[in-house]
Structure 1
Amino acid sequence: MSRSHVLLPLLNQLEQALKALNIWQDTPPAQEKLMSSEPFAIDTMTPSEWLQWIFMPKMLWLIEQQQPLPSGFSITPYFEEAWKEQPEMHDIVALLKQIDEACA
């Protein structure tokens, strides 16, 4: 099974998990927030905003365009640290770990 076939359902589950926690946003952030050069846009966005507005659209675009997917990255440690005091986020962190593993 291709990585795209593994990642697409995980990305869909991630969207549903963000929506279930009522942190999915209907309105995109201001353009300047999207222009951050910091890792995870930590200077302009919350972790969930980065997932929704930067990470997920990029991964979905790569899949849709049948472009090579990035490999060897690990985003889970950032989210484990960012959300260590928020047990309600543990299911999302588990999904991110599966995404990391699929892209290993």
Structure 2
Amino acid sequence: MTPLLLQRLEQLETLLRDHQHWQETPPSASALASDQPFCLDTLEPLEWLQWVLIPRLRALIAAQQPLPQNFAIAPYFEVALAAATPGHAPILRSLTQLDALFMDDRA
């Protein structure tokens, strides 16, 4: 699953960059230290993807640590991401493909 997971993370990063959602300046340390799911109280949903999800999954892979199981974030983004958000449909599709890797043992 690791090569495909890395490919999916790269695809997601590319989408965020292509639709001008990628930020050059990281959020504050306190924003990243939120204890709320998806850092709801400190980050916008797409910020969470860039600053939390993508780097943490890459770090787990690099450290050869176990990956999450039964992992699904697309349902949250279906609600949290406004339909008018640039790249809405491809970002949701990418997240659904990412989720599928964690729900399918054959991936």
Give the TM bin, normalised by the shorter chain. Answer: over 0.9
Instruction: Report deviation, 1:84.
Output: 4.2
Equivalent residue for 2:72?
Answer: 74
Instruction: Report deviation, 1:82.
Output: 1.1
Equivalent residue for 2:61?
Answer: 63
Q: CA deviation digits over 1:18-71, x for unaligned, max 9?
A: 000111001110111001111101110001100000000000001111111111
Q: Distance in 1 between matches of 2:47 and 2:82?
A: 17
Equivalent residue for 1:19?
Answer: 17
Instruction: Report deviation, 1:73.
Output: 1.4
Equivalent residue for 2:42?
Answer: 44
SS for the counterpart of 1:53 is helix
Alignment: residue pair count: 102
Quick one: percent identity of the two aligned structures?
A: 42
Equivalent residue for 1:90?
Answer: 89
Structure 2: gaps of 5 or more residues: none
SS for the counterpart of 2:2 is helix
Q: Greater shift after overlay, 10-19 or 88-97?
A: 88-97
Q: Distance in 1 between matches of 2:90 and 2:53?
A: 18
Structure 1: gaps of 5 or more residues: none
TM-score in terms of structure 2 length:
0.90
SS for the counterpart of 1:11 is helix
